[in-house]
Amino acid sequence: MSRPAESLAPSGEQYELRSGDHRAIVTEVGATLRHYSVHGVDVIDRFGADERSSDGRGQVLAPWPNRLDAGRYRFGDHDARAALEKAAGLAAAVRAGQLLEERPELAERLGDVPVAVLDKGRTPGAHLLSGAVVNPRTFRQLFPGMTTRDFPFQGAVTSEGVYYLTRRSAIRIPAPPPMWNHGNYVGSVDEMGRWLAERAEELGVAVIPETSATHLLVQGGRVVGVRTGDKGRGRDGEELPNFEPGSDLRARVTILAEGTQGHLTGVALDRFGLQSRPQVWALGVKEVWEVERPLHRVIHTMGWPLRGAPHRREFGGSFVYPMGEGRVALGMVVGLDHTDSTLSVHDLLQELKTHPKIRKILRGGTRVAWGAKTIPEGGYLAFPDRFHMPGAMIAGDGAGFVNVPALKGIHYAMRTGMLAAGTAVDAVGPGRTAWAPGALAGYDEAIRADYVWRDLKRVRNVRAGFKYGFWRGAALAGMSITSFGKFPRRDFALESDAGVPVGIPKAPRRYPAPDGTLTFDKLSSVYLSGNRTRDDAPNHIRIQQQVPARLGETWAQMCPAHVYETAAEGGGDAVNVEITASNCVQCGAITAKGGRLTIPEGGDGPEYTVM
């Protein structure tokens, strides 16, 4: 991989990746967005020519539909009439299943598999990671016949506290309204995923785990489905004895619900020109502990170990949630627009646990699970220009439906999935043409009329205001929250994470040495994620390998899974970045910071069970 000098502009002592150049870097390392057209079907992928030639997939664009049944999952006798709705969102699938149950004649018309959900995790829920304190509103809307006791929650929030931490003390501060959790429930999103998958299957939905959607299929300017990835390729793309080719899954309507850093979502946003404003991300690192004394309150902290100086741009905080009597979930969430190359969210979480308040909660306990994931934090200010395109809609984190001050996204993801499903079922009804221009416009209208839109509009400036530092950001956030979003009047602009200069400070951050009891290193953390990626799997990380030290250090510290190591190169400022891709837990942070996580083989990656 060669170094694209024009896109890597040194800026004084700091290394700068400008958002406009971000794409150029990606292109240079062979992970560009490409369009191919064969027999009228465009296949768009995010892999470059290198990937194609190395995995020997010259025939990747085999004419439609002769690869339809080539894969592991057979969908019966599909033809142009049979509609397969690929709804990668369990709430969307449940809602679509419910609506089709009310309209059996329509379900009949749609064929053997009217609704299917693909999931790259080994089991449904295996790649889900959240806090999680859940607003049960959408569960109630989706299952009106059930009570809260029926839902996969572990208990109601009965008490809560927000603290400002210094190194030794914890000062209780009034919780801002978005952080009030009265009426909410604690739960594991993995458990919710498994539960929702069961409900979906009861409604006749095909839930297909261990299957990555790697390509978006576009024909005549509309999305017509997805292509799934091959399985059983070796390090250099060669076919192993267990090789299974992917399949093309054609759908009248595709709902992209890929979550954070959605692969095909990114392709769709580019292709249909829908993302005119940058998205920004935070990285969340989480652990689950078995503890001796039950915790009875939900705790959020801000302040230490983050630093408030404006030039550091360290925005974030921690959460500590009770999970039933014997378990506690805790995590650290930090915005990826910080400027210090030596900041590691994994290690900040280790440091947090040494605080007297947190140490006391964990005393005598055992760490039982670990994981990491990014959160899209731009919210309303980073929404795509539209949430639909011909043949497809975007739901959940993929479109950025996250309320940052509340640290809530689950009920918004489910709600937008429900709204997308309603639009999809209407669009495939008799006399309707799902791919006609505007056929899915009802989805945008439904979102704009919904609480999702209202909630996120009110808090739109909260995250962006923290670019001015903690104290000024807190003042702006207070003004924004108390005025229900009326002040500040103007919308703040977001700056892409990769556009923020990073540098190695004179006094690099130091973290507590792992003691194997309270604090741990990254490799032992990855082990606890249940990571299933084969050592000989093809490398799915795209970065430029020779970079200035400050960028190499940023990647090495940022990655919670110890994927990157740097070695001095040629005596100058440059370093060589070595990749151990099999450690990757697919958190997505590298995509925010100038590299790219591409889609690994289905079933690879973490196997979360209690996250």
Please state the closest distance from residue 13 (CB atom) to ligand FAD, in A: 32
Q: Any idea what DSSP says for residue 533?
A: -
Q: Identify whether the C-beta of residue 100 lies closer than 8 Å to the C-beta of residue 110.
A: yes
Contacts of 71 (CB under 8 A, 6+ apart): 228, 244, 245, 246, 247
Helix (H) or strand (E) holding 561: none
Peptide bond preceding 65 in cis form (omega within 30 of 0): yes
Q: Which of 295, 336, 590, 599 binds ligand SF4 (CB under 6 A)?
A: 590
Q: Which of 128, 452, 559, 563 binds ligand FAD (CB under 6 A)?
A: 128
- Contact partner, 541, from ligand FAD, ligand SF4, none, Cβ < 5-8 Å per class: ligand SF4
- When asked if residue 404 is in the footprint of ligand FAD (CB under 6 A), the reply is no
Q: Which two tokens stand for residue 529?
A: 């994620």
Helix, strand, or coil here: 135?
A: coil
- When asked if residue 282 is in the footprint of ligand SF4 (CB under 6 A), the reply is no
Nearer to ligand FAD among residue 114 and residue 396 (C-beta): 396
DSSP of 275-309, one letter per residue? Answer: --S---EEEEEEEEEE-SS---SEEEEEETTS---
Distance CA 110, CA 454 (A): 35
Nearer to ligand SF4 among residue 178 and residue 560 (C-beta): 560
Span near ligand FAD by CB under 6 A; candidates 64-72, 97-105, 377-385, 391-399: 391-399
- Contact partner, 559, from ligand SF4, ligand FAD, none, Cβ < 5-8 Å per class: ligand SF4
- When asked if residue 597 is in the footprint of ligand SF4 (CB under 6 A), the reply is yes
Q: Which of 157, 333, 464, 558 binds ligand FAD (CB under 6 A)?
A: 333
Span near ligand SF4 by CB under 6 A; candidates 131-139, 167-175, 352-360, 587-595: 587-595
* Count of residues in contact with ligand SF4, rule CB under 6 A: 13
CA 453, 455, 460, 463 dihedral sign is: negative
User: Strands, E, within 98-230: which ranges?
Assistant: 115-118, 133-134, 155-156, 160-165, 170-173, 185-186, 206-208, 213-219, 222-228
Q: Which of 94, 162, 203, 559 binds ligand SF4 (CB under 6 A)?
A: 559
- When asked if residue 301 is in the footprint of ligand FAD (CB under 6 A), the reply is no
Distance CA 24, CA 526 (A): 31
- When asked if residue 375 is in the footprint of ligand SF4 (CB under 6 A), the reply is no
Closest residue to ligand FAD in the complex (CB): 409
Q: Which of 157, 587, 599, 611 binds ligand SF4 (CB under 6 A)?
A: 587
Span near ligand SF4 by CB under 6 A; candidates 126-134, 295-303, 493-501, 553-561: 553-561
Distance CA 160, CA 406 (A): 13
Of the candidates 395, 520, 313, 314, the residue with the CA atom closest to the CA atom of residue 88:
395
- Say what the alpha-carbon torsion angle 529, 530, 533, 536 is, to the nearest 10 degrees: 110
- When asked if residue 328 is in the footprint of ligand SF4 (CB under 6 A), the reply is no
Nearer to ligand SF4 among residue 348 and residue 584 (C-beta): 584
Please state the closest distance from residue 601 (CB atom) to ligand SF4, in A: 14
Nearer to ligand SF4 among residue 162 and residue 561 (C-beta): 561
- When asked if residue 589 is in the footprint of ligand SF4 (CB under 6 A), the reply is yes
Q: Which of 397, 497, 601, 607 binds ligand FAD (CB under 6 A)?
A: 397
Span near ligand SF4 by CB under 6 A; candidates 141-149, 183-191, 312-320, 556-564: 556-564
- When asked if residue 268 is in the footprint of ligand SF4 (CB under 6 A), the reply is no
Please state the closest distance from residue 437 (CB atom) to ligand FAD, in A: 26
- When asked if residue 584 is in the footprint of ligand SF4 (CB under 6 A), the reply is yes
- Contact partner, 442, from ligand FAD, ligand SF4, none, Cβ < 5-8 Å per class: none
Q: Which two tokens stand for residue 340?
A: 């210090």
Q: Identify whether the C-beta of residue 533 lies closer than 8 Å to the C-beta of residue 584.
A: yes
Q: Are strands 85-87 and 115-118 parallel, antiparallel or unpaired?
A: parallel
Ranges within 75-94 binding ligand FAD (CB under 6 A)? 88-89
Distance CA 143, CA 200 (A): 12
Helical segments of 438-502, H only: 441-448, 451-458, 460-465, 470-482
- When asked if residue 601 is in the footprint of ligand FAD (CB under 6 A), the reply is no
C-alpha distances in angstroms, 332 versus 226, 295, 350, 385, 406?
35, 18, 9, 31, 15
Q: Can you give the binding site for ligand FAD, defined by CB under 6 A?
A: 88-89, 118-121, 127-134, 189, 212-213, 257-260, 262-264, 284, 286, 331, 333, 373, 375, 396-398, 402, 407-411, 413, 599
